[in-house]
A and B are shown apart, each in its own frame.
Chain A
Amino acid sequence: MVNFDTFNFHLDLDSLPWIMKLNIVFALFFLSLAIIFFISIIWIRIFKIYRNEKKRKQQSLLIDFLNSYLFDEDFDKELEIKNFKENHLRTSLEIKVTIKEILHFHENLKGESAKDLETLFNKLGLVEFTLLDLEDGRWFTTARAINALSELCIEVPNHRIEAYLNESRNEVRQQSQLYFLKLAEEQPLKFLDKTVRPLTTWQQIYIENALKNFYKGPAPDFSQWLYHDLTSVVEFSIRMIARYNQFENIPELIPFLKSKNDTLKREAISSLTNLEHIALLELIIPNFKGNSRIIKLEILNSVEQLGNYEDLKKIGDQLATTDWELRIKYHNIELGFLPEKKELIYSQFMLEKRFEI
C-alpha cells in the first residue's frame, strides 16, 4: 500500500503498483475510443450536412422538373429529359434521390400521370441502375430494387425475382410478392403456390392493397388457396372471398366453421357475415357456449350484423354471468335492437353490476 507521504508522480510506469497501471491503461483506452467516436461524430455531421444539401437541391429540382413534365403542355419533354440526364444524373446520390422522388410521385398519383412517370423512369435510364441494385447482393438493396421495379411496373425475367419469394428476410419476401402481384395481367396471386413461409399481417395488408389498387385484371378465385399448407394463406383467402363478394364460394367456407383453428374459424364467421349469409346464424348460435372468447365475440358480431333480437336472446341463455366482456357486448347489441328500452337496459345492467350478478 502506498502511503500518503509518498504522494509524488512517477513517470516510470514500471515502478507503479499494478492497479494503477491497469487504471491508466483503461483510462487511455477509453479516452482514445471516445476521441475516435468524437471525430466520427464530427465527420458524420459534416458528411450529412453536405449530402443533405445536395439532396435538397436535387429534390427541389425534381419537383419542378416532374411537375412540368406531367402537367405543362409547353414543356419540351425530349429535350428536357436529355438535359436532365446529362446534367443531373451524374452521381449515385443524384440517381438515388431521383429514383426515390419519382417513386414518391408515383405513389400518390394514378391514371395518366402515373403512366407518364413510368415512361420517364425508363427514358432517364434509371431501369439499368435498378437492375444493378437487384444484383447487388445485400438484402436491403435488393428489396429496394424490387420495390422500384414493381412500383413502376418494370418487367424482368421471372426467375430473377422468384428466388426471393422465400428469402429469409421478411422485407425481401414482401417486395417480391408485390412485384408478381403488381405486374400480373391475370392470376395475380400465383406466387402463393410457391410461398412456403407464413404471411405476416403486415404482408397481408400490402397484398390486399396492391390487389385493390394496382391489379387491373379479373379477380382470382380465392377458394383455390383454402387448402394451402400455410394457415396465414388460408386466412387471407377466406378474408378476400368476402372482400371480393365471391358468393359462389360460400359453400367452400362453411366447413371452416368447424375448424379447430380459431384464427380460421373466426375469419370464416366474419367473412360469411360480410357476405350476408343469413343461414350462418343457425350454424353458429346453437354451439355458442362451446367456443373460445374470440369466437364468441365474433358470433355476437354476426348476430349484430345479420340477426334480430330473437337470435340474440338465444345467445343470452348461453352467457355466463361472470363473462362481463361478452355481456357488455351483448347488451350493446341489445341496445341497438331495442333503442326504446335504452334506459331500462342500462339501469338493469348497472344494478347487476353493483351486485355482481
Chain B
Amino acid sequence: MGSVLSQFTEIASWFFLIYGSIIISGYLFTAIYSIIEIRDYKRRNNFEDDIALLQSLNLPAISILAPAFNEGLNIVENVRSLLTINYPSFEIVIINDGSSDNSMELLFAEYELEKKDILYHNFVKTKDIKGIYKSKNKAFKNLTVVDKENGGKADALNTGINICQNSVICCIDVDCILENDAMLKLIKPFLNNGNKVIASGGVIRVANSCVIEDGRIIEVKLPDSFVARVQVLEYFRAFLMGRMAWSRVDGLLLISGAFGMFDKQIVIEAGGYDTNTVGEDMELLVRMRRMMQERNVPYTVGFVPDPLCWTEVPQTWEILKRQRNRWTRGTAETLWIHKKMMFNPKYKILGMLSTPFWFFFEWLAPLIEFTGILFFIILFILGQVSWQVFLSFFLAVYSFAILFSVTALFFEEYSFQQYKKPSYIFRLIGTAMLEPIIYHPVIMWSAVMGNFDLLRGKNSWGVMSRAGLSNSGKKQKD
C-alpha cells in the first residue's frame, strides 16, 4: 500500500506543480500586460480638455439604465446624483423591478412624476410594464421611471433597453456611485477606434466606509471591516491587473453588471440579457462577442482603468458566501452555454485564451484546490503526511499569494493612489497577509458549494432575486 500511495503522491505532486506553474505564468502575463496598459493609458490622457467634448454635437446621446429593487432607502439621492453627471446629452431610466417598498411613491413625490404614453416595442421579451413616468418639472426632463412586474435584474435591464431612446446604453446599479466624468471617460473607447466598439467597461471600487454625501464620494476611506478590506485588494487584482491585461489583448469576457456601456443595437441583436442565468453580465458580453466573431465583423471591447464607479461590497461572511456562490454558478453557466467556443481557433483570443483561462483558473481552480485539501486530509488520516513537504509547499503558495496582492497594491500606488492615508498601506499589507489564511478558504468553499448547488439544480434566481439587487451586480473575478 505504501508504494502505491507514494507513487500516487508523486503524480499528484507533479500535477500540482505543473498546475501551479501555469497559474504563475498566467499571473506574470497579466502583471506585465497590465502595467504596460496602465502606463500607456496615463500617458494618453496626460492633457485633457473636456470643454471640447462637452461642447461637441458629435458625442452620442446615452441612456443610463438603472434597475431598482427595494432601494427606497437611498433612491431619491441616487437618482439626483445620476441627474448631475457631466455629459452633454443623456437620459436616466430607472426601472422599478416590482419593489415591495415605497420606492415608487418616493420617486413620485420628489420628481413630480406623471404617467406618459410612450411607444415602445419588446425587442427583448420582458415581464409586463405597469407604467412609464416622466417628470412634470422641466429640470428633470432627462428622467424616465418605468414601473414593472418583478422579474430580476436581467429582466429589468431588458425592459430599460426596450424603452430607452438612445443608441448607446450604460447599465448601472442604482446604488453605485459614479464619478462626475464617468460617462465622458467611458464613451471614449467608442470614439477612438477604427473597429466597431460594442461595449466598454470601467473599474469598480469599494465604497464601504467611504464618506458619502448625497450620492457622492466626499472622502475615500479604507473599509473598517476585514471582509470588505480584503475585497479592496481583490478589486485591485481583478481590475488593475486582470481586466487591464485582458483588455490589452482584447480578450475581456466580463464587464461588471454594476457599470458598463453597450451598443444597444448589438445588445438587441444578441438577444439582450439572459434571464435564466445568475451571471447575466458575463453571459451577455460573451454572447455579443461570439455573435460578432461569427459574423466576422471586426469589433472591439474597451476598458477604462480610471476609478469611475464606487459600490458597497458585502460586509458579512453570509452575504459574501451567497455572492460568491452566485458568481461561481454564473461563470459555470456562461462557460457551459458557450462551451463551443473553448479551444476553438475560429474564436481567436476568445476561444484559445479567454475561455480556457476562465475554465481552468476561474472555474476549476477552487475545485482543484478543494481536491488538494481532501487529498491532504486523507494522507493525514493515513499518517502519510510529509510535514516538511507540506510546509514548504504551503510557504511557496502563501508567498505567491502575498506577492500577487502586493503587486496589485503597487499598481494602485503607481496609477491612481486612491487611499491617501499612509497608514492605509500598512493595513492593506496586513490584510494581504491574513487573506490566504482567513478569507480565501471561505471563498473557495463558496465556489465549491456554488458548483454543488448548480448540480443540485438550484434555480438561478428564485429565492436569490429576493436577496436584493444591491449585491447581484457586483460581479468581479480575479
Contact = CB atoms under 8 A, between A and B. Distances in A.
Which of A45, A108, A343 counts the most B-chain CB atoms under 10 A from its CB? A45
Contacts of B130: none
Given A26-B396, A107-B51, A206-B52, A33 B403 contact: yes
A75 interface: no
Interface in B158-174: none
Contacts of A198: 194
**Highest count of chain B CB atoms <10 Å: which of A103, A205, A327:** A205
A231 to B, nearest CB: 11
Given A30-B402, A204-B58, A20 B392 contact: yes
Interface string B1-35: 01001100110010001000000000000000000
Interface stretch (A1-9, A155-163, A308-316): A1-9
B413 interface: yes
B459 interface: no
A19 B117 CA distance: 72
A30 B399 contact: yes
Contacts of A213: 55
A143 interface: yes
Contacts of B17: 19, 22
B56 interface: yes
Contacts of B445: none
Contacts of A20: 388-389, 392
B375 interface: no
Given A7-B387, A30-B400, A44-B414, A38 B429 contact: yes
Contacts, number: 149
Contacts of A42: 425
A76 B100 CA distance: 69
Q: What does DSSP make chain B's interface, helix, strand, loop or mixed?
A: helix
A34 B402 contact: yes
Which of B47, B59, B410: most chain A CB closer than 10 A? B47
Contacts of A34: 399, 402-403, 406-407
A34 B13 CA distance: 25
Interface in A86-136: 103, 107-108
Contacts of B402: 30-31, 34
Given A2-B388, A3-B386, A23 B396 contact: yes
A332 B53 contact: no
Given A204-B58, A206-B52, A209-B56, A24 B395 contact: yes
B374 interface: no
A325 B167 CA distance: 11
Which residue among A9, A140, A170 has the maximum number of chain B CB atoms within 10 Å of its CB? A140
A28 B385 CA distance: 23
A206 B58 CA distance: 10
A205 B121 contact: no
A244 interface: no
Given A24-B392, A34-B402, A41-B425, A1 B6 contact: yes
Given A1-B386, A41-B409, A201-B191, A19 B13 contact: yes
B119 interface: yes
A237 interface: no
Interface string B26-65: 0000000000000000011011010111011011000000
Interface string A194-211: 000010111011101110
A222 to B, nearest CB: 16
Given A31-B402, A200-B191, A37 B407 contact: yes
Nearest to A324: B121
Contacts of A9: 388
B452 interface: no
Contacts of B191: 200-202, 205
The 4 closest A-B pairs by CB, nearest first: A324-B121, A23-B392, A30-B399, A209-B52
12 contacts: A3-B386, A4-B386, A23-B396, A24-B392, A28-B399, A31-B399, A42-B425, A143-B47, A201-B192, A209-B56, A324-B121, A343-B117
Given A27-B398, A34-B406, 15 more contacts: A3-B384, A7-B388, A9-B388, A22-B17, A27-B395, A37-B410, A41-B425, A42-B425, A44-B413, A144-B47, A200-B193, A293-B265, A325-B123, A327-B121, A342-B117
